[in-house]
Chains A and B, each alone.
Chain A
Amino acid sequence: MIEIKDIKHQYNNNQEIVFKDWQIENNQQWLLLGESGSGKTTLLHILTGILKPTQGSVKINSTEIYQLSPKALDRFRGQHVGIVFQRPHLLKSLSITENLQLTQSLAGLEVNTNRIDEVLYSLNILSKKNNKPDQLSQGQLQRASIARAVLNKPTLLIADEPTSSLDDKNAQAVLNLLLEQSQLNHTTLVIATHDQRIKEAFTNTYSLS
């Protein structure tokens, strides 16, 4: 279960933003809706342990994440949170497999090549496992970045505007992949977006105004 409570965050320019409390049960799929500038990214960062809010608590699996030491928080994030960024951002100097091995070792987990192959297979890019990122197409890169996010079977899978720059067909495909992967890996899914096209797929919505 993921829970945020009494969250307030103050930006450097003293502008304050208040987030209403939010409870996410395990294996639920949520949409985080909000226009640009509504604090969507801020909330995502707070939720993933990247940005410490000025006030309030974030609990993931009953761990109060901002009470962890910085190092423990980094490790916790590596093991329990998977993030799909708007752009893939795989390390260019490493092959796809090496990128995923790094994902396991940075999270403090054993390198498990079977698991890597399994995830790549489920995303249909196993044949590219030894290629460098610049040898993959945009679609393949996006799938590789989803592979990286779900690799460690995180409690929480977060996608930040995964569809905003895609056409209708591809947006639907990525959405399906995310839904499918979150089910496959028993992961709670939160998609942050202002994209109205994908609204119908979700029953749970957290709106920022």
Chain B
Amino acid sequence: MNPFKLSWKNLWSKPLNATLNILLITFGTCILTVLLLASNQIEQKLENNSKDIDLVVGAKGSPLQLILSSIYYIDFPTGNIPLKEANELARNPFVKRAVPLALGDNYNGIRIVGTDTNYIGLYKLKIKEGKFWQQDMDATIGATVAKEQNLKVGDTFYGGHGLTEMSDQHKEHAYKVVGILAPQRNVTDHLILTNVASIWHMHDDGEAHAHEGHNHTDFKNEQETEGKEITSLLIQYRSPMSVAMFPRMVNQMTSLQSASPAMESTRLFSLIGVGVDTLQWFAVLIMLVAGISVFVNLYNSLKERTYDLAVMRTLGASRLKLFIIIILEGLILTVIGSLIGLAVGHGILQVIGAYQESSQARLTGLIFLPQEVYLLLIGLAIGIFAAIIPAIQAYRSNISKILAKN
């Protein structure tokens, strides 16, 4: 009969009290787990997707919207920009690499992105099967897209107009899958990539037909820029100096707007952060209440048990043993609560992920973080703090006095 078994038996002699205490700890830990995992995953996704992009240039509007639509593919684009102006910016000496984006179509809610070969270099894309897009209407699809839509190299599909579930399809032109990307662990897993001309094809049929036979992949071709539009331009700077000069230049000299992913992501995260902070304090409050509840539970049960504990002393238990038994009771409650809380937190996140609409920002409960150990340690600490006063009382109790008060 070791101390652990004694503590365990004693706790479960009052199952309702034990369950309530465990439940409170579980609830607190669960909220903290979800917050920790979700904010960590969101932060990581934000960073992964924008790490090599210094600036996004697009139509005037909300800079956050521009970032969301051009880097995270979540919001709608701010509008279109003339290809001519975009080309001029791309040739600017501050710019090392400029990648055009043409958005506006989807396949079953997956965004079709018209771009050029610079995109491959920007995201360091690798092919798993087939090849990168070359001709008009060639499509190279992300790894997740291939898996979820069951598309293989050689398959064809129709794009739909708009960015959400397709309403009217562009039945005239079918895309042909020519390649599948290796998993990149960023937003490109969830995209369909093609050339800019394919997007143009879809939208102004008349003009597109006029250019039949030409190779549209090089969007910089001067003759064809007239009247053409793209959605935005992703820019990599040549030197750190550009940070100070280039955005101002874009905003002042052109009708376009520039937005820095780093700045906008920070702004976005600080907006989410308010909510996260509130929930975090809420969870801390619950943990505090849980700790007090464990304390009250142990303290009350100690009062009822003073005689029992004194009898145990007469049977040969040392003061230290009683101390350990009480501390263990606190620890058992909080550690069980913390472990269940962690498990439930992961479960909840997994369920949330399954119901999420946008696949780009999908959360998962299957990622474990080293910081979760801290949550377990917090549980341990609460258990010890809640039990320490009752345990010291048990340690100090004068058994002669207790037994004399028959």
> Which residues on A are within 8 Å of B, measured CB to CB?
41-42, 45, 48, 50-51, 70-71, 74-75, 77-79, 81, 83, 85-87, 89, 91-94, 98, 101-103, 105-108, 111, 148, 160-161
Contacts and interface: CB of A to CB of B under 8 A. Distances in A.
Nearest to B6: A102
Nearest to B308: A91
Nearest to A148: B315
B252 interface: no
A12 to B, nearest CB: 10
A103 B317 CA distance: 9
A148 B314 CA distance: 11
B406 A106 contact: no
Contact of B315 (A42, A70, A102): A102
B319 A70 contact: yes
Given A102-B312, A106-B1, 16 more contacts: A45-B403, A50-B313, A50-B403, A77-B314, A85-B406, A86-B406, A87-B406, A89-B308, A91-B311, A91-B312, A92-B308, A93-B9, A103-B315, A106-B316, A108-B316, A148-B315
Contacts of A102: 1, 6, 312, 315
Contacts of A106: 1, 312, 315-317, 321
A198 B314 CA distance: 26
B282 interface: no
B307 A89 contact: yes
Contacts of B400: 45, 50-51
Contacts of B308: 89, 91-92
22 contacts: A42-B404, A45-B400, A50-B399, A50-B400, A51-B400, A70-B318, A71-B320, A74-B313, A74-B319, A77-B314, A78-B316, A78-B317, A81-B314, A83-B314, A89-B311, A92-B13, A94-B6, A102-B6, A105-B1, A106-B1, A107-B315, A111-B1
A85 B6 CA distance: 22
Interface in B227-266: none
B403 A94 contact: no
Contacts of A108: 316
B317 A74 contact: yes
Interface of B: 1-2, 6, 9-10, 12-13, 307-308, 311-321, 399-400, 403-404, 406
Contacts of A70: 318-319
Q: Is the interface of B mostly helix, strand, loop or mixed?
A: helix
Nearest to A52: B400
A41 B401 CA distance: 10
A123 to B, nearest CB: 18
Nearest to A75: B316
Contacts of B404: 41-42, 45
A85 B12 contact: no
A77 B314 CA distance: 7
A11 to B, nearest CB: 11
A79 B92 CA distance: 93
Contacts of A148: 315
Contacts of A91: 10, 308, 311-312
A106 B12 CA distance: 21
A48 B307 CA distance: 17
Nearest to B12: A93
Contacts of B314: 48, 50, 77-78, 81, 83
B1 A98 contact: yes
A75 B318 contact: yes
